[in-house]
């Protein structure tokens, strides 16, 4: 993943410390059609910038990629990407942010390795994970480590809910 220069980041925090939703909403135009969803993602951006929490993004790959692109400017640098379907082991280069695509594809060994890696990581390291499906049903069936689920799930963003809400609204308007 390419990184952005910190000077290129748009200012979403006003000088008085309040959130500039208009600045964030401009970046979100075309991703989410509902104002409440823009506001929710704007709040997430502030969390990313100030606290660097782990984020779990659930939804279709296209929407998850768009969301990751919006978040990229607010992630800790350097950023490393891991695609478990293609590479069995996460990157070994130093990183502040690890982006894990398709976290639901991790096998048991990869899950244990990632959990241990997150245990050793310092407070300034964050993990941004994407999944095409909710992980909790996998946890209930014993196919995904519950400890790892809670490590990755500090902030949960379910794009399926947003897409379903937008679809319902569009259908209602069409009637």
Within a domain: residue 144?
Answer: yes
Domain count, the chain: 1
Enter the tokens of residue 168. 């319902």
Cα separation, 79 vs 68, in Å, equals 12
Within a domain: residue 56?
Answer: yes
Give the CATH number, domain containing residue 58.
3.40.50.300
Within a domain: residue 156?
Answer: yes
Q: Note the pLDDT of residue 125.
A: 85
The full DSSP string for 21-81 is HHHHHHHHTTT--SHHHHHHHHHHHHHHHHT---EEEES-HHHHHHHHHHHGGGSPSSEEE
Within a domain: residue 1?
Answer: no
Q: Answer yes or no: pTM beyond 0.85.
A: no
Structural domain containing residue 152: 6-174
What residue has token string 């991790």? 106
What residue has token string 């500039």? 20
Each residue's pLDDT expressed in tens, for the chain with a length of 175 residues: 444 444 444 455 555 555 455 555 554 444 444 455 556 666 666 666 667 788 898 888 888 888 888 888 888 889 999 999 898 888 888 899 999 999 999 999 999 999 998 888 877 788 999 999 999 999 999 999 999 999 998 888 888 765 555 544 544 555 5
Q: Note the pLDDT of residue 161.
A: 65
Four-point Cα dihedral 115, 157, 61, 146, nearest 10: 30
- Measured on CA atoms in the order 151, 134, 160, 36, is the torsion positive or negative? negative
Within a domain: residue 32?
Answer: yes
């Amino acid at each position: 993943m390419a990184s952005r220069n910190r000077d290129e980041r748009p200012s979403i925090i006003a000088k008085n410390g309040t959130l500039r939703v208009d600045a964030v909403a401009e970046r979100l135009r075309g991703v989410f059609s509902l104002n409440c969803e823009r506001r929710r993602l704007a709040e997430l951006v502030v969390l990313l910038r100030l606290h660097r929490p782990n984020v779990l993004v659930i939804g279709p790959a296209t929407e998850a990629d768009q969301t990751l692109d919006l978040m990229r400017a607010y992630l800790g640098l350097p950023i490393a990407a891991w695609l478990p379907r293609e590479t069995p082991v996460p990157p070994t280069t130093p990183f502040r942010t690890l982006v894990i695509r398709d976290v639901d594809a991790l096998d048991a060994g990869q899950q244990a390795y990632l959990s241990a890696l997150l245990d050793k990581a310092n407070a300034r390291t964050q993990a941004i994970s994407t999944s095409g499906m909710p992980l909790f049903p996998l946890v209930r069936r014993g196919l995904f480590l519950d400890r790892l689920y809670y490590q990755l799930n500090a902030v949960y963003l379910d794009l399926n809910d947003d897409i379903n809400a937008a679809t319902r609204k569009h259908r209602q308007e069409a009637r």
